[in-house]
Structure formats: C-alpha cells, structure tokens
Amino acid sequence: MKAFEPAAMGLLTLANRFVRSATYEGLANAQGLCSPGLTKLLVQLATGKVGLIIAGQTAVSQEGRADARGLCLWKENHLPALMDMAGRVQAAGGKIMLQLGHAGIVAEPSLTGKAAFGPMAGRRTDGHICRSMTRNDIRKTTVSFARAAALAREAGFDGVQLHTAHGYLLSSFLSPHYNRRRDEYGGTVENRARFLLEVLLSVREAAGNDFPVLVKINVNDFLPQGVSVSDIVKTAALLEKGGITAIELSGGTLRSGSLNPSRTGLISRENEGYYKEEARYFKDKINVPLILSGGLRSLDVVEKLLQDGLCDFAAMSRPLICEPDLIARWKQGDTSASMCKSDNQCFRPVRAGKGLYCLTRVQEGKKSMHRPA
C-alpha cells in the first residue's frame, strides 16, 4: 500500500505517509517546559509507527502564550527537556517536529502580562481589548519565530511547522475577516501574506536551508469574509517560492461553530478528509508535498486519497489520541476504522490540567495507552 511506503519530505525521509497533526497536549509545566508525561505520550506515537509526529503549538515568545500548560521555546532553559523528548522519540524510530506559533488575538493576558495583539485593534468576546500590531511588533515577532526555529534545530528536532491556522496570529493576518489593515500588511493577498513570508525567510536564514519547514494553513475560516481557497493557493505559491517544505491543509477557528477544527459527531466515510476538494485544487497548482488533515478515520480512504494524487501525506489527531498504536494495527493487518467517536471527550482532561487521553475509552473500561502516568 502506498500509505506504508517511505516518502520524502524535503531532505527528510519518513517511514510512511502518516502524520500526527499538531495537537494541544496540555502537558507542559507552568514555565512551558516539556514534561516526562508529554515525552511519554509522543514516544507512544513513535512506537505506534506514526511516520511524522508534530508536537503541539509551541509559543515563540512570552506574549504569544495561549495556555498555561503549552510548550514554550525562546530561552536556553527550554532546551534540555526538549532535547530529551526529541532524542527519545527518535530512539523509538520516529521523526518529530515542533509546531511554532503565536496566539495573537487569543493570547492569555494573565500569562503574558500584556494586552493581546493582532492585525487590528478590537474587543474580544471575553471583554479583553486587543491592540493592533505595529511594524516593530511584527519585526520582533519575526525574530522570535527565527530564534525558536534555530533552538528547535539545536534541540535535535527534524524540522518545524509554522502554525498558520485556526485564527492564531499568522492565520489572522491572512484572513480578511481579521485583517483590514491599510498598510503593506493588509489588503491584497500578497500584502496579507507578507508577515508569514517574512517569518519563513527569517526561519530559513536562522535554521538553515536544509532544515525542513512546514506550514499548517487554513483553506477556509468558516467566518464571514474569511479566507478563500483561491487566496490561499496564491499564498501557497508564494510560500513555495520562499522554500516551504510541505503544506498541511486545515480549516476553521474556535469561532466557527460546528465547523471548528475539531468537529463532533461520527464521520461517514464519504465525509472523511474535510478538505479533499480544496486539496484537488492545490495539487493542480502547487508542487510541494501536501498533507491532508480533517476527519480521516479509515485506511482505505487514506489509501484512495494517496492513490488519486489528492495528497502526499495523511494527518490525524483524535484517532491517535484514541489509539496511539493505530498505524501499527493497520500495518499488522487489522484495517478496521479508528475507534475514535469524535466526541471531543479527549479534551476534557486537558481543560482539567490532566493531559491528553481518550476519556471515552477510559469510561468504557478499555485500556487507554494515552493516559499520563
């Protein structure tokens, strides 16, 4: 099967075409340091034969933090535990990248000590006032992404992914829903993509042209005046020229209602791969590897998407929370669909500060390999 064939992502060769899509694990400590529990969780994915593991959003600066238990990477003291994590995942046979991000308008003031910022000033639904980023803010944030990428390489990671989805900072600049600036960072597609491209070029300069740099990007915000797939294909073409290694398609924001990034309810086989039609449009115009995420649950669906040329890699999140050994199970011959019910019960322990695991399986009395020790 093509799904289990080795595949290249830039200079990196993966054992198969399965990717663990970055997921907030809630297992860092209060200082944003990687914990043994987080390392254990990701090692389980490596032993479960996931080809590439992308660790959850890692804040590149203090003002970019969204959650008290999210990873951070901007200081030297963040490195030792991350080095240990990367080394252990690789020793278990896996490849691992860090997703680098900045919360932007959803940054948590109680953690940052500052007002959140984004493309425009405004009031959030929780009452907090966000300010508009200045050119100096943009410059400083670009430097923060570059430094984090260089530190990730120093820590031994196999690459980084720029989080440009779900309404976080880089995503918000691409979206006309959020970005109505009248300077060189707003208006046209090229202007709205300028910040992201400056980040990419700075990351390339800091971490090296041989270091894989991926992007996770919204093809649809599911918001009024949000991004369009044609705009994002134009942005992807600019990223391709800038040296992006691979592109992961995603969609939705926390404000997108039932079309948020983690949709609930059982997913029919016909609806697996939420963004497969957008992927078809991308593959006609973009020549970098494409990672498709969104509701994938069945091996034969993944195989058909790969055989039809709609994607080069298949990314999953919740199925791998439910079954960290899912890929190994499929490879061993049990090709039944993931047991994930898409009920989002896995996020309840995260909100309670207990980490990421399938609460439904625990409640059903089944063994959950993902529950922190």
Q: What is the pLDDT of residue 319?
A: 96
H-run or E-run covering 292: strand 290-292
Q: What is the pLDDT of residue 282?
A: 95
CATH class of 2-363: alpha beta
Q: What is the pLDDT of residue 373?
A: 47
* Tokens, residue 44: 């389980």
Question: What's the Cα-to-Cα distance from 230 to each of 137, 218, 240, 367, rounded to whole Å?
Answer: 29, 12, 15, 45
Domain ranges (residues) in the chain? 2-363
* The amino acid at 350: V
* Tokens, residue 42: 């990701």
Pairing type for strands 12-14 and 129-132 reads unpaired
d(CA 157, CA 86): 6
d(CA 179, CA 326): 40
Any idea which residue has 């994915």 for tokens? 45
Q: What is the pLDDT of residue 164?
A: 98
Q: What is the residue-level pLDDT of the chain in tens, covering all 373 positions? A: 999 999 999 999 999 999 999 999 999 998 999 999 999 999 999 999 999 999 999 999 999 999 999 999 999 999 999 999 999 999 999 999 999 999 999 999 999 999 999 999 999 888 899 999 999 999 999 999 999 999 999 999 999 999 999 999 999 999 999 999 999 999 999 999 999 999 999 999 999 999 999 999 999 998 999 999 999 999 999 999 999 999 999 998 888 888 888 888 878 888 999 999 999 999 999 999 999 999 999 999 999 999 999 999 999 999 999 999 999 999 999 999 999 999 999 989 988 888 899 999 888 875 444 455 4
**CA-derived radius of gyration, the chain:** 19
C-alpha 70 chain-centroid distance: 13
Residue 16 CB-density burial (10 A; 0-12 exposed, 13-18 middle, 19+ buried): buried
Question: What's the Cα-to-Cα distance from 1 to each of 110, 135, 270, 280, 330, rounded to whole Å?
Answer: 49, 49, 21, 21, 11
Give 260-266 contacts, CB < 8 A, sequence gap 24+.
260/222, 261/165, 261/166, 262/317, 262/318, 262/342, 262/344, 262/347, 263/295, 263/342, 264/342, 264/343, 264/344, 265/342, 266/341, 266/342
Backbone angles phi, psi at 84, to 5 degrees: -65, -45
Q: What is the pLDDT of residue 126?
A: 87
CA-closest candidate to residue 324, choices 366, 358, 273, 365? 358
d(CA 177, CA 165): 13
Residue 302 has, within 13 A of its CA and on its CB side, a CA count of: 29
